[in-house]
Amino acid sequence: MTAIAYRDLADIAEDVRLAVEATGVFRHTSWLACDNHRQLAEYIRTVPSSPAAVVCIGSGDWSDAALKRAFTVAVVVFAPFFSSRQSKSESVWTLAEAAAAPFLPDVAPGVAPEFPAIQGVQYELRGWRPLSTDEKAASFVLEIRATEVAHYTTTAQE
């Protein structure tokens, strides 16, 4: 019997985490399966070092008779809050831009931009916004739209 399947969301979160970690600017990277802001804020308080980035996966939908799915990947970057007069190399804005870099499109003259894909999942940057966590940390959320086409699997019939 042939069925459609998708990659495990934890594996996708790990792919994104590895891409962010490869930027070399974060002391800690991880992914978190959470479903609300309170869980995320609590997790951020427990992270041993910063600057740090945490990958979360949010809402999604299926299309084309469930042969394609799209969902939101959030990359939350955070660092200790400090005055703008201090080093900009560790500002939350600089960290957000570094975390976004692996997901920027490839651009060539005369060719439409192409967003990157990792393991068959295509990533498109959608936006960013500040995140209120606590007064000791500055946080930003990158919103990335991930799109994956189903693959086929064969299972033994009973």
Each residue of 87-131: pLDDT tens digit? 555 688 889 999 999 999 988 899 988 899 999 999 999 999 988
pLDDT at 27: 92
The CATH number linked to 9 is 3.30.2000.10
pTM: 0.87
Domain count, the chain: 1
Question: Nearest CA to 62 among 128, 135, 126, 4?
Answer: 4
Q: Which domain holds residue 8?
A: 2-154
pLDDT at 145: 96
CA trace torsion 64, 69, 72, 73 (10° rounding): -150
* H or E stretch covering 46: helix 37-46
Position 85 pLDDT exceeds 70: no
Of the chain, the end-to-end C-alpha distance in Å amounts to 9
4-33 average pLDDT score: 94
Determine what percent of the chain is predicted with pLDDT higher than 70.
90
What does the alpha-carbon distance between residue 140 and residue 143 come to, in Å, rounded to a whole number?
A: 10
pLDDT at 104: 93
Mean pLDDT of the chain: 87
What does the alpha-carbon distance between residue 96 and residue 35 come to, in Å, rounded to a whole number?
A: 22
